[in-house]
Amino acid sequence: MDGVVRELLGRQLEAWLSRAVARGRPSVVALAYGPGALLAATDSAEAVLGVLAEHASQLRGRQLTVLVLADGSEELPARLGAMEATLPAETAVHLVPGGPARLPVAVKAAGATGAPLLSYLDGAGATDPAVLAASAAGRPAELLLVTEAVPPPAASTAAGVPPTASSSATPASAGLSSSVRARLADAGFPLTTQVDLVPVDGSPARRLAFGTGHDRSLEAFKENLWAADDDTLVRYRDPADPAGQLLDIAPEPESLRQELLAELARSGPRTVTELRRHALTATAYRSVDVQRALTGLLRCGAAVRDPEHGRLGGDVVIAVARHL
């Protein structure tokens, strides 16, 4: 689990750096860990500094501040101090005692308001409205957030787990898990998506959410999501899937076909562009996966298109076949 999150964080940081550095403005990376994430704090923060060290030549002459908000052992400052020594002089690393609750003060002190800001929040307090608002204060701002994941009720029942307080969410935890995207949108991120990371050993799943203001950043996140090491003992789960089907870390068109059919049944005919947007923001899939899924639906007669012939371009309208 932690390995997958570290890989995704590293990949997103690389993509963000290329844009932030190009702007030539002081930039901020903020990493905040609640009490439930302290064991992973040292490894993931060290991984972030490792990515920055790999791009040291790109960072020279550019002011970058890295904030690490966590309460931990003496190991954390020792290991981060060793990594900081490999970074350009313009890159400053500040270890701030506390967790996500300290983020609003920390990013303001670092001058992140209006500057390029990449935030990573993990653990208790990560979804507090004030914390999310602070992470959205950058221009541009991007956020990776990890919190608890509650399986859909249908998934719990299918697995033979009775709907108790431990297997189906309590009202409070269910509301928290299902509202992560809404909270990111309320905080000021116009583009959001989320996916559950489910360990195959049965340990608790985590929900990974992403917020941004740019289509290219959202596309990059989805590409990074499906480029993760597929040998890992983690599967994905689309929070929008009531059945809670587990997905291998490799795009599988069948699940997306069913989701697209469900969306067409809910909303009526949609253009290919609209369905790509739906896949990008409301499912675990990428927009590029839609073409293959639609081709399969049209070939088997589950969906129809208008016009009937020609390239499957963005303005082609797709509908559920009437005989279904």
Q: 119 has which bridge partners?
A: 30, 143
- From residue 247, how far is each of 36, 127, 147, 169, 233 by CA, in Å? 26, 26, 19, 22, 12
Mean pLDDT score of the chain: 83
pLDDT in the model for residue 65: 94
Name the DSSP class of 117: E
162 backbone dihedrals φ, ψ, rounded to 5°: -65, 150
pLDDT in the model for residue 187: 95
Cβ neighbours of 22 (radius 10 Å): 11
Name the DSSP class of 205: P
Long-range contacts formed by 225-230: CB under 8 A, 24+ apart? 225/8, 225/195, 225/284, 225/286, 226/250, 226/251, 226/286, 227/11, 228/4, 228/7, 228/8, 229/3, 229/4, 229/7
In whole angstroms, give the CA distance from residue 222 to residue 116: 21
**Residues of the chain where predicted confidence (pLDDT) is lower than 50:** 155-177, 324
pLDDT in the model for residue 49: 92
pLDDT in tens, 195-239: 999 988 888 889 999 999 998 899 989 888 888 765 567 888 888
280 backbone dihedrals φ, ψ, rounded to 5°: -70, -40
Structure tokens at 107: 């990013």
Radius of gyration of the chain (CA): 21
Alpha helices, H only, 168-320: 171-178, 180-187, 215-226, 253-267, 272-282, 289-300
Cβ neighbours of 304 (radius 10 Å): 16
In whole angstroms, give the CA distance from residue 321 to residue 300: 10
